Structure 1
Amino acid sequence: MIATFGIAENATAFDFSIFVDPEDNYIDASAFLARGGFVPVPVIITEPAVDGGFGIIGQFIGTPTAPGRQPSRTMIGISRTGNGSTAGGVLHSGNMRDGTIRYKYGAGVADMTIPIFPFGLDQSVDYSNKNVAAFANARMRLGESDFWAGPRFVYRKTDLSIGEDADLGPVATQVRDYINNLFDSQQYIALGASLHYDTRNNPISPTEGINGSLRYDIYDDAFGSDANFKIGQAVLTSFSSFGDDWTFGIMNKYKWTDGNNPFFTSPHVDLRGVQSGRYSGDAAYSAEAEIRKQFTDRWAGVVFGGYGETYVSDSKLYEPADDIWTYGLGVRYKLARKIGLDVGLDVAKGPEESIFYIQFGHAWGRAMD
């Protein structure tokens, strides 16, 4: 199919057949991405506390130069919610020196109104967070092993508040005073390190292998940070195939803090079906299992379930929570066969509500690194 854009005499013809895989005649973005194109990914925000919302992310993915090597990837996105919150940013990841060094960096700005759930109550309190953030990390392969290690850098400047004129109850008033008195406008700067182990057969939509990471960030006034604290995170994911068309995956994630960390950096349960930040504390554990059935070369289905809990020792805002169970199902389509990229839709049920997600790559992509 041929379409012509523009009215000029030398208008350029665009061949839409580039989106068709000649091997099976299915829609496929491999050739388009190899030419430097991008895939627009819609972001549908279902969080009721921000009155829903919508965003768009342009995903530029390069073709790996060798099998199993991570492709270069650039993401540019913007979003807006029903309560007027806005956010935008850019992220890039790639590799160098024949794939022995991997790196990632990004920056973003946001003006968000976000709920927190203090003191273990179901009542949420909305706070305003004007945020500018940037990060960078790199890791080098250790010899010929599957281990990688390297440094990390994190920068964040925030302006937090709850309006003095808001009609608040006693709980919200206490939270407002805590935020306004302690956290006003501050910057947080961290230096850290990470250790990784990676044997996945595909870094975007894996079906075999293990991915593990351990990272530790130190925020200190010696680096220019307005608060001294530490944040650590350990993640282990595993994928294994059985039968001809089945894959089993499991993800375990534990995140903890130590010191005078601002509440918005507190670890939270990270599961499909749970609102981000709904269950927070000084530490949080999340586990999720997924079974995938490949119906055809292009189409697959997934079912999944998860468990989470939080731990509290010094927090002034949060209470511990456990027995947080989730479950759901989804569908996948292989959008770019040559790089193994899946896209799809998940519907997940948590303790409070059902949430649906548009997936680009694996659902655990943010946890894996």
Structure 2
Amino acid sequence: MGDYLADNAYGFLPVPIIITEPAVGYGGGVAGLFLHETDEEKERRQKLAKESLDGGAQLVPPAMTAVAAAGTENGTWVVAAGHRRTWMNDSIRYMGGGAIGHANIDIYTNPYDLDFIGEIPALKFDTETDFAVIMQQVQFRLPKTNWLLGAKQVWSTSTLESSNTLVDMTLQFMDLDKTNNSGLGLVVEYDSRDNMFFPTKGYSLNADYMWHREEIGADHDYDTLSVEGQAFVPIGEKWIVAFAASFDSISTDETMLTPTANPYIDLRGVSAYRYQGDQVATAQAQLMYRIDNRWTILGFYGLGYTHNESLSPDFGNCFKSNCVKNSTSSTTVDAYGAGFRYQIARRYGLHMGIDLGFSDEEQALYFTVGTGF
């Protein structure tokens, strides 16, 4: 596969998609990755590729286009396309894309204490969402550094409903059944990894702060912060230790936002949207062993934390207040597992593999491209 891509200026890499995410069920699809480059760029990469098996991985083409379509057994489906382009030796980066689809996802409420009754456990309700989303961002590199600064724009529209009559009526009453969203934000990135597909050394940091406002087309005002970092440390020729951490938060003066707006714990072995919060943090560690140039085995462990602030009934103080009080709740969950990677295109460092993840409540099998983080 790597030799084919190395010999074609407009190489096409078909990538099968196998979905085993517990939140949407089993499914699959296909993605196509188009690698664009000029004759001069192709000649440089082919020359380096002849000197080492993974030489082409250091010269990723400045332009790539991806298209994908996938669906799952519970009726969820998505069609997406995106493009990435760089100029002036990666001094300027642009990335944009869009998607349309339908998502069937279960949402869980946060547990809280109710006077005279005790703790009310988390309740589950189903949601069906039809959506369309467009995203684009542009970044500029600080001269002679690995730092990039830029701006990001997101627009989406969605319709939301639930088979739970009470939930569906609440969504309609709060004007959350049909929602338009538009956000602008700032992006900071640091990247010293040796390969964007399957890094074996280096560090990366991505952070963005988004403002969603009615003045730019959003139905609701809120802010989001997202920070994610990764580190890859080689130990000798065979072992690689990798770390990843993330923090996401959402803040608003609105009474309620759509159920899928809040960030969630994203770990292998934990269903998407199973644990949501106003603030969500995760930390992961992964140990990889390279058997040879093709095969790598790995083990991982992750920890996730959510924090929520909300209003809950306060019947004991109804004569002194309005029968509600501010309450906080938090959840901690851990997950672990093992897997392997097989290098399908040595010239570019493209890896595919399988991870088996476990948590206290479930287990899941993941077919993945890249490191797994």
What TM-score bracket applies, with the shorter chain setting the length?
0.7 to 0.9
Secondary structure (helix, strand or coil) at the match of 1:37 reads: strand
Secondary structure (helix, strand or coil) at the match of 2:11 reads: coil
Q: Corresponding residue for 1:160?
A: 160
Greater RCO, CA 8 A, separation 6+: 2
Unaligned runs of 5+ in 1: 1-18, 22-27, 365-369
Amino acid at match of 2:249: W
Q: Corresponding residue for 2:320?
A: none
Amino acid at match of 1:52: Y
Equivalent residue for 1:114, pick from 97, 105, 111: 105
Aligned residues: 329
Q: Corresponding residue for 2:316?
A: none
1:70-219 matched pairs, under 5 angstroms: 70-71=60-61, 72-120=63-111, 121=121, 123-163=123-163, 168=164, 173-182=165-174, 183-219=176-212
Instruction: Tell me how far apart the structure 2 counterparts of residues 362 and 59 of structure 1 sit (CA, whole Å).
Output: 18
Contact 1:246 1:293 in 2 (8 A): yes
Structure 1 length as normaliser, TM-score? 0.83
Unaligned runs of 5+ in 2: 46-56, 112-120, 313-326
Which structure shows the bigger proportion of residues in strand conformation? 2
Contact 2:4 2:11 in 1 (8 A): no
Amino acid at match of 1:175: V
Percentage of matched positions with identical amino acids: 24
* Inter-CA distance 345–29: structure 2 relative to 1 (3 Å threshold): farther
Secondary structure (helix, strand or coil) at the match of 1:358 reads: strand
Structure 2 length as normaliser, TM-score? 0.82
* Inter-CA distance 234–258: structure 2 relative to 1 (3 Å threshold): same
User: How big is the alpha-carbon RMSD for the aligned residues of Structure 1 and Structure 2?
Assistant: 2.3
1:52 paired with 2:26, answer yes
Superposed displacement of residue 84, structure 1: 2.2
Q: Corresponding residue for 2:14?
A: 39
Secondary structure (helix, strand or coil) at the match of 1:241 reads: strand
Q: Corresponding residue for 1:359?
A: 368
Contact 2:19 2:25 in 1 (8 A): no
Secondary structure (helix, strand or coil) at the match of 2:207 reads: strand
* Inter-CA distance 69–282: structure 2 relative to 1 (3 Å threshold): farther
Secondary structure (helix, strand or coil) at the match of 1:177 reads: helix
Q: Corresponding residue for 2:323?
A: none
1:189-242 deviation line (CA, Å, top 9, x unaligned): 001110111111111111111100110110011111111101110111111101
Secondary structure (helix, strand or coil) at the match of 2:110 reads: helix
1:219-234 matched pairs, under 5 angstroms: 219-234=212-227
